[in-house]
Amino acid sequence: MSMGGWVYGIQGWNPDLKSAFVFLENFRSGLPDGQPKFLLSLIPDYPLLNFMLNTSIYVAVSYRLFELTNTLKTAFVPSKDDKRLAHNIIAAGAISVVLYSLSLVFLQIPRMMSVIDRTVLKLEVCQLLCMEP
């Protein structure tokens, strides 16, 4: 029985394994051929053991992210303090505007550098052509 058939056979009683398998399949499909075998193969020649190990890593990381999300939620979204919630929303909006503005400035840097390079090149060419022998 292939690994896919084995996983699809157990998906009815354990949805966590199904989601882990879907995650691994999506991860594998976005990479070039041959690469996922080396990335996800922690124990050579044992595909089910690799699947179990990768699934346990995925579940552990997912659980940790869930805990972090809940911690951050209580820090940034207070449950009973509407004034603090409004301040957090305003601060988030201000930070977003500042970061967006900075990204626009950073995107203009290559264009400004190319203009500067062309100007310097024109000046050098002009100096070379205007030189007296």
Residue with the bigger pLDDT between 40 and 93: it is: 93
What is the tens place of the pLDDT at every residue in 76-120? 787 788 888 888 889 999 999 999 999 999 888 887 777 777 777
How do the domains of the chain map onto residue ranges? 1-76, 81-133
Percent of the chain past pLDDT 70, that is, above it, reads 67
**What b-and-e string marks burial along 80-106, b requiring 16 or more CB atoms within 10 Å of the CB?**
eeeeeeeeeeeeeeeeeeeeeeeeeee
Three-state secondary structure string covering the chain:
CCHHHHHHHHCCCCHHHHHHHHHHHHHHHCCCCCHHHHHHCCCCCCHHHHHHHHHHHHHHHHHHHHHHHHHHHHHHCCCCCHHHHHHHHHHHHHHHHHHHHHHHHHHHHHHHHHHHHHHHHHHHHHHHHHCCC
Burial class (CB in 10 A: 0-12, 13-18, 19+), 45: exposed
Closest CA to 56 of 44, 48, 46, 45: 48
* Residue 108 DSSP label: H
pTM as predicted: 0.41
Portion of the chain with pLDDT greater than 90, in percent:
20
The mean predicted confidence, pLDDT, of the chain is: 76
